[in-house]
Amino acid sequence: MCGIVGAIAQRNVVPILLQGLQRLEYRGYDSAGLVVVNNQQLQRERSTGRVAKLSAISANISSHLGIAHTRWATHGVPSERNAHPHMSNNLIAVVHNGIIENYEAMRTRLTAQGYVFTSDTDSEVIAHLIHSHYARGNSLLVATQTALSELVGAYAIGVVAADNADQLICARKGSPLLLGVGIEENFIASDVSALLAVTKNVVYLEEGDVAEISLHGYRIFNARGEAVERPLHVSELSNESVELGEYRHYMQKEIHEQPQALADTLEGVCNSQSLIPGIFGAEAAASFAQVKSILILACGTSHHAGLVARYWLEEIAGIPCNVEIASEYRYRVSVANPDTLVVTISQSGETADTLAALNHAKETGHVHTLSICNVPESALVRLSKLRFLTRAGPEIGVASTKAFTTQLAALFLLTLLLAKQRGRLSVQQEQGHLHALRHLPSAAQAVLNLEPEIAKLAERFADKRHALFLGRGLHYPIALEGALKLKEISYIHAEAYPAGELKHGPLALVDKDMPVIAVAPNDALLEKLKSNLQEVRARGGELYVFADAGTRLQPSDGVHIMQMPEHAGYLSPILHTIALQLLAYYVALKKGTDVDKPRNLAKSVTVE
């Protein structure tokens, strides 16, 4: 996790660094810091807490060269001494995102050489190691390259030296980093959103690249030290797209962006008369023809998307599907099946466990790989043979919302294509599904229109300490997702169960203080679910039922019904999710938690 920004310009770069950090705060927000080069000296400010605090203490600093960092603690508690940048002998300063695995050995070696460590982080070894090579007369570039060759682990780094006001060095391996190219000014950042106010021209560094950046240009060297060219991209993101606008929180904004995000994700598909595999990449048709099963690997919310997809894939496409949590799969001894399509799902495309799971799948012999991802240049996309880019736009709130529903849309398309390819989709059925997909954005908008009612319902939750979510079939993963959203941002302990499991244990938890939230679409399992809800009511549990058209559920004492406007068939999980996102959001609002930056979490989980 952690966010990095760096800049070299003729103007004062401090406001650029601070604004960039603010944009990157979603990557980590327990402490922040910056260092600038001025008159052969390093001037550093660090603070615990948010970037706003750093901005306040940096008001009087100015320089044309600097690097900055916002942290999500791994090694060492969140504290000022552990905040980046880390310095060596007031000469070298480094910001780092990633984990140095051999830092203990390095620390011992550097301590023996006389280096004094002032933090508990793994990152500080990078500063001292670079210093040790720089002090021997190497250029900053060579000192950095040599140091990196001795380090094991993942990193994106920015490096400056007090006696070199003309250069900024950066490198990446395992953590994202890009260059922002301006006119007589250049930048580095973990993510393009940090730089949109200054440039949209970006160069994505590749694994092992080291770059030397000056006012007038940049040079990139690959892991073997050879000078290389990397393509220049013009980011399609606008500065406004990463601003809050009229909303109170990014999460609220992103919940409301879902109709558009779904429309954008489905754009090419819904405008055509039939589905073509090419939307998953040039080689998709050939791969789809060969595969006989699906293995989905993902974490958190993205894993829930995979769980929904399993129902679709088996029922509509008739293809066996397994869904595994990436952090488990990566260490599990499993049997590879070369006829399996390995589908990884990730908003960020940089989740360490998902990347490792994909690599593990490949190493064990899987050959067909597809990633569904929201970030075009991410490591996950590059590692996969096939890809589908959701077009949710930047998701900044730590709680994933629009990324999830667009992942579901992508997975439904995958299902339809595999069904078609396997002769299980008639032309009429295909047209019917396309029609439903075209209607999806307006159906999502209709759910958003329930916001005031859901906000009112949420008021009843603010004093609760626990909550139980129930769903059945296709909507069991939606109950899981609803529970994850609630616990993540409101800190209310929430669990989800398939409603039929209640009587096998969790029913013991039910009493008047345990709100039970039921996802109740008008599907084949509705009558079964109604019986499960009776079991809850009979034990005094208070029910909050998210019903949809035709469910004929009536409110009564202890039974609150949220009536959703329509039943969307196979796409119903998408609509029910939106309602549960709103519920979690308003409960958190009522509780006064930090909705966009919940405690202990970060948006991109780039560590194990």
* Alpha carbon distance 538, 507 (integer Å): 11
According to the binding rule CB under 6 A, does residue 408 interact with ligand M6R? Answer: no
Quick note: the x/- pattern for ligand M6R over 148-187, rule CB under 6 A, is ----------------------------------------
Cβ partners under 8 Å of residue 363, min gap 6: none
> What is the residue-wise DSSP string for 142-206?
HHHHHHHHT--EEEEEEEEETTEEEEEEEEEEBS--EEEE-SS-EEEESSGGGGTTT--EEEEPP
User: Which of the following is catalytic: 2, 170, 299, 321?
Assistant: 2
Among 369, 400, 415, 490, binds ligand M6R (CB under 6 A): 400
CA–chain centroid gap for 423, Å, is 35
Task: State the residue number with the nearest CB to ligand M6R.
Answer: 300
Instruction: Tell me if 127 sits within 8 A of 94, measured CB to CB.
Output: yes
2 an active-site residue? yes
Among 55, 63, 119, 347, binds ligand M6R (CB under 6 A): 347
Tokens representing 27?
């990557």
According to the binding rule CB under 6 A, does residue 395 interact with ligand M6R? Answer: no
Compute how many residues bind ligand M6R; rule: CB under 6 A: 16
Among 1, 189, 398, 458, binds ligand M6R (CB under 6 A): 398
Binding range to ligand M6R, per CB under 6 A, among 177-185, 394-402, 439-447, 582-590: 394-402
Instruction: Tell me if 520 sits within 8 A of 545, measured CB to CB.
Output: yes
Among 354, 406, 421, 606, binds ligand M6R (CB under 6 A): 354
Closest listed residue to residue 251, CA positions, set 589, 492, 483: 589
According to the binding rule CB under 6 A, does residue 132 interact with ligand M6R? Answer: no
User: For residues 97 and 400, which CB has a smaller minimum distance to ligand M6R in the complex?
Assistant: 400
Among 110, 299, 342, 536, binds ligand M6R (CB under 6 A): 299
Q: DSSP state, 85?
A: P
- Kindly report the CA angle at 147 between 357 and 360, in degrees rounded to 5? 10
Site for ligand M6R in 506-535 (CB under 6 A): none
Among 323, 399, 517, 571, binds ligand M6R (CB under 6 A): 399
Q: Are strands 3-8 and 65-71 parallel, antiparallel or unpaired?
A: antiparallel
Q: Are strands 227-228 and 218-221 parallel, antiparallel or unpaired?
A: antiparallel
Terminal Cα distance for the chain, rounded = 10
User: For residues 22 and 348, which CB has a smaller minimum distance to ligand M6R in the complex?
Assistant: 348
According to the binding rule CB under 6 A, does residue 302 interact with ligand M6R? Answer: yes
According to the binding rule CB under 6 A, does residue 190 interact with ligand M6R? Answer: no
Cβ partners under 8 Å of residue 531, min gap 6: none
Among 257, 264, 488, 542, binds ligand M6R (CB under 6 A): 488
According to the binding rule CB under 6 A, does residue 301 interact with ligand M6R? Answer: yes
Tokens representing 213?
């950046």
| Min dist. Cβ of residue 510 to ligand M6R (A) | 26
According to the binding rule CB under 6 A, does residue 346 interact with ligand M6R? Answer: yes
According to the binding rule CB under 6 A, does residue 254 interact with ligand M6R? Answer: no
* Alpha carbon distance 498, 476 (integer Å): 5
Catalytic residues: 2, 603
Binding interface with ligand M6R (CB under 6 A):
299-302, 346-348, 351, 354, 398-400, 484, 488, 604-605
